[in-house]
Structure 1
Amino acid sequence: MANIKDIAKQAGVSISTVSYALNGSPKVTAETSARILAIAKELQYTPNAAARNLKKQETKVIGVFLSDFNGAFYGELLQGMKEGLKQSGYDLVACSGKQSHRLLPQRMIDGAIVLDESFSSEELLKYADLGHKLVVLDRDLNHPNVNQVLLDNKAGARLAVEYLIELGHRKLYVVTGPKGSFDSRQRLQAVKQVLSRHPHIQYIEMEGDFTKASGALAGLQIAQHFSEPAAVFCLNDEMAIGMYEYLTTTNIRVGRDISLIGFDNIEISQYTQPRLATIDYSKQKWGWLSSEQLLKLIAGEYVEHERIYVTLIKGDSVGAALSSHFTEPF
């Protein structure tokens, strides 16, 4: 592939003259510029966008780093980010995996939105020290070049557990998310804070990973030891849907024998029968606000940390606690 040096050699001019001509600079005469452009076309020269962007110190591209792309949650979040950039002239590129981290130090993007536990906080602070603009959705970081747009996980978890307690439930299963997940840790901390005030409640913690499969597995484990009605708080809707689907294959009925509540209010949760109880918030607003905050950082404006608030959707998958009544064989 031809480069500027090749064009300069064939045209008999300096590299800087070729650069001026390719960028339409008036420093080069029309005749010389026309000759250089003709040679560039003949050699099938393609500009190196990375080098040009590095020189200009902007790419007009925003990166969003995600742990993965599975589940309905990410689609709404990304749509919100895209909407937030619509009038700005910026494009959005979604990334996942360790290799994608190179986009930041190589300045292939002008800033980043991070919801990805594969980044350590130390790594992000190092980039912030180098002047990179970052919005984090999954951790507490204090730095002038970092803005936090965090979901109010603790409030949501408190709403869910207190609702179950108000209905008289005395046995609570909690299906957690991945160990490295900030959201899961925050929600679990709030659960334990609430339960510390209710020591009479039997608490069983089950490991999940925010996928339907892990929810189904937790449902299987609950069914194998089922003896009395209980409440289950899955720390996201994907796991709650997985558990719900598994329990439909048993004699255990959601809303009667198991009171089930999730977190995220993904679209499919609206169509379960009974309707899944869950914690609601706007994924699109979360994405839109994160884009808006990042654009302000890039523009050098002062921004304060933001929080996305949550509400409880009671649904029909949660019922009042009843005395033990399940006698049918599995």
Structure 2
Amino acid sequence: MVSIKDIAKKAGVSISTVSYALNGNPKVTEETASKILAIANELNYIPNAAARSLKKQETKIIGVFLTNYGGAFYGQLLQGMQEALSMKGYELIVCSGRESHRFLPERMIDGAIILDVTFSSEELINYANRGHKLVVMDRELDHPNINQVLLDNKAGATLAIDYLVEKGHQKLYVVTGPDCSYDANQRLHAARQAVKRYGHIQYTEIGGNFNKPAGEHAAEQIVNEYTEPAAVFCLNDEMAIGMYNYLDKTNLRVGEHIHIFGFDNIEVSQYIRPRLASIDYSEQKWGAVAAEHLLKLLADESVENERIYVSLIEGDSVKKVQ
């Protein structure tokens, strides 16, 4: 990382003069300040907001970047991160929004866990090229300073489709997720591939957004089209719960007329009735593994990419049809 010492050396001035110039102090002439600022720009100097930690070049803070804080998904994930980090003396801050991206280049955090579509892959590669250590949970990137800890979305979606077909369902809906979501796209691609293996399936996709209103909208469409029992694979549990909410106001019943399968097995899905069939994995473990891998990167230890495995949880929301 370029420091004010490097700028001072190239400019032929003292460190204090560089500091004055960078902070707009009138003690430095305009000519000298302009020269120093030009050199700072040439060297890609980035101010260090963690100056109090300059001696050790660490803050003992890790940032996790999320697209948003909505839904019931993030609690266990963050808990797993926090527990793994606290064991090693690190603290966790949760960030969202484009303005928070500056925490990385300004060295306000030691490293970052990324689950945030507002970061472009190009931006993350650029940070990694500058030496920042990153763990990504929502994309595939190949760089020595970036580690991947991803869900096995392909296996989960394939398990779901196979399960519905094995239960005798011939009419199948898939409620998709946000176009920008890596997990949603991986699940949708795997679902399409699985359906192709069954040439007799009547298959329909309904656009979704990983939230309850999207599930309610999908349920409304399915009810309006209803002629016979149908199975629905929602690419996350939030949308599945939205479907329950809408269907509760109709004459169609979950597990009899509309058979619903989710993904994530969030805690609330275990208590709705009939019990929601879903793809399960440990959000807490996913978060803990991501944190552990980042700490290894920061310690310059070798660490392999990892995939979090999933399993199928049966529920009475899906029953066998003839």
**TM-score, normalised with respect to structure 1:** 0.82
- 1:187–1:49 distance in 2 versus 1, CA, 3 Å: closer
Query: Could you tell me which residue of structure 1 aligns to residue 164 of structure 2?
Result: 164
Question: CA shift at 1:55, angstroms?
Answer: 4.9
Question: CA shift at 1:111, angstroms?
Answer: 0.2
CA distance in 1, matches of 2:78, 2:71: 12
CA distance in 1, matches of 2:104, 2:61: 11
**Unpaired segments ≥5 residues, structure 1:** 1-14, 17-47, 323-330
Query: Could you tell me which residue of structure 1 aligns to residue 153 of structure 2?
Result: 153
CA distance in 1, matches of 2:246, 2:77: 28
CA distance in 1, matches of 2:200, 2:148: 37
SS at match of 1:252: coil
SS at match of 1:199: coil
CA deviation map 1:80-120 (0-9, x unaligned): 10011121111000001111101111111000000011111
Q: Do 2:49 and 2:108's aligned partners in 1 also have CA atoms closer than 8 Å?
A: no
CA distance in 2, matches of 1:115, 1:229: 37
CA distance in 1, matches of 2:54, 2:243: 49
Q: Do 2:212 and 2:239's aligned partners in 1 also have CA atoms closer than 8 Å?
A: yes
Query: Could you tell me which residue of structure 2 aligns to residue 45 of structure 1?
Result: none
Query: Could you tell me which residue of structure 1 aligns to residue 307 of structure 2?
Result: 307
Query: Could you tell me which residue of structure 2 aligns to residue 8 of structure 1?
Result: none
Instruction: Please show how residues 3-18 of structure 1 align to structure 2 within 5 Å.
Output: none
Query: Could you tell me which residue of structure 2 aligns to residue 318 of structure 1?
Result: 318
RMSD: 1.5
CA deviation map 1:142-199 (0-9, x unaligned): 1100000000001000000000011111111000110000000000011011111112
Query: Could you tell me which residue of structure 2 aligns to residue 43 of structure 1?
Result: none
Q: Do 1:230 and 1:321's aligned partners in 2 also have CA atoms closer than 8 Å?
A: no
The percentage of counterpart residues that share the same residue type is 66
Instruction: Please show how residues 147-296 of structure 1 align to structure 2 within 5 Å.
Output: 147-296=147-296
CA distance in 1, matches of 2:138, 2:203: 26
CA deviation map 1:23-74 (0-9, x unaligned): xxxxxxxxxxxxxxxxxxxxxxxxx972223453111100000011111110
CA distance in 2, matches of 1:190, 1:225: 25
SS at match of 1:75: helix
**Unpaired segments ≥5 residues, structure 2:** 1-14, 17-47
* Number of equivalent positions: 278
Aligned amino acid, residue 171 of structure 1 = K
Aligned amino acid, residue 190 of structure 1 = A
CA deviation map 1:209-257 (0-9, x unaligned): 0001110111111111111100000000000000011101101110001
CA deviation map 1:245-296 (0-9, x unaligned): 1101101110001110000000010011100000000000000110000000
Q: Do 1:53 and 1:108's aligned partners in 2 also have CA atoms closer than 8 Å?
A: no
Aligned amino acid, residue 229 of structure 1 = P
CA distance in 2, matches of 1:320, 1:54: 64
SS at match of 1:56: coil
Question: Runs of 4 or more off by more than 6 Å in structure 1?
Answer: none
Query: Could you tell me which residue of structure 2 aligns to residue 127 of structure 1?
Result: 127
Query: Could you tell me which residue of structure 2 aligns to residue 118 of structure 1?
Result: 118
Query: Could you tell me which residue of structure 2 aligns to residue 85 of structure 1?
Result: 85
